[in-house]
Amino acid sequence: MLRVSFQLVFSKWIYVAITIALAGIFWIIFNVFDQLLFFSPIFVFYLPDDAAMGFILSTMSAILMGIVVGMNVYILKYSGNLKVNIGSLFSGSTLSMISSMCASCSSVGFLLISTFGGIGITASTFLSNYHTPLRVISVALLVWALYSASNKLTRGCVLNHNIDHETKNL
């Protein structure tokens, strides 16, 4: 099922380009927030031993997010008269973005604290303490979003004939 939907979507070069571009952009954003990628004064990528698991999870999140968004753009373009809820298409993306940045490890933590005060401190502490479990949850949500998008592409409309017969008998 997943193979068929991949062949359907990624047989067109525009969706491959969208996927690669978004995955690259999110990979850069996640690694800048995790302070693994630096652009100033020179371009440097540094991966310490204790950040390996976070790097693997953020790379998985970036790749999955690129794939899911590329498939969802395809679904939106070719959905026709189907009623597609845009909020459900991008369900895993929001949690992935929030959980993939270490709020207390970067300038985002200072922004949260200065903007929201005590609530910002609480949010920053929560994100730093539960950083890895939130990333695992975001990867799981993105896998679920990928499965859902694949389902929308490969399964047609299924009519339940039992309901039709029950309404005729009434």
At 115-167, the pLDDT tens digits run 777 777 777 777 777 878 878 888 888 888 888 888 888 876 554 555 555 55
Q: Which ranges in the chain belong to alpha helices (H)?
A: 2-9, 13-33, 52-78, 86-89, 91-99, 107-116, 118-129, 131-154, 161-169
Q: Which residue has the higher pLDDT, 22 or 41?
A: 22
Q: Please give the tally of structural domains in the chain.
A: 1
Domain assignment present for 88:
yes
Domain assignment present for 123:
no
11-14 contacts at long range (C-beta below 8 A, 24 or more positions apart): 12/74
| pLDDT of 91 higher than 80 | no
The reported pLDDT for the residue numbered 143 is 87
Domain with 46 in it? 2-101+132-156
Tokens of 144: 């679920």
The pTM (predicted TM-score) of the whole model is 0.74
Longest dimension (CA), the chain: 77
**DSSP label at 40?**
S
Contact 74, 87 (CB under 8 A): no
Domain assignment present for 142:
yes
The total number of residues shown for the chain amounts to: 170
The reported pLDDT for the residue numbered 78 is 80
Domain assignment present for 58:
yes
The reported pLDDT for the residue numbered 18 is 94
Domain assignment present for 108:
no
Cα separation, 31 vs 76, in Å, equals: 30
Which of 56-65, 69-78, 80-89 is modeled with the greatest confidence?
Answer: 56-65
Domain assignment present for 97:
yes
- Burial of 148-158, coded b for 16+ CB within 10 Å and e otherwise, reads bbbebbeeeee
Which position has the token pair 């200072």? Answer: 110
The reported pLDDT for the residue numbered 104 is 47
Domain assignment present for 112:
no
Least reliable range by pLDDT among 82-86, 92-96, 102-106: 102-106
| pLDDT of 92 higher than 60 | no
Cα separation, 146 vs 141, in Å, equals: 9
Domain assignment present for 139:
yes
Q: What is the CA radius of gyration of the chain?
A: 20
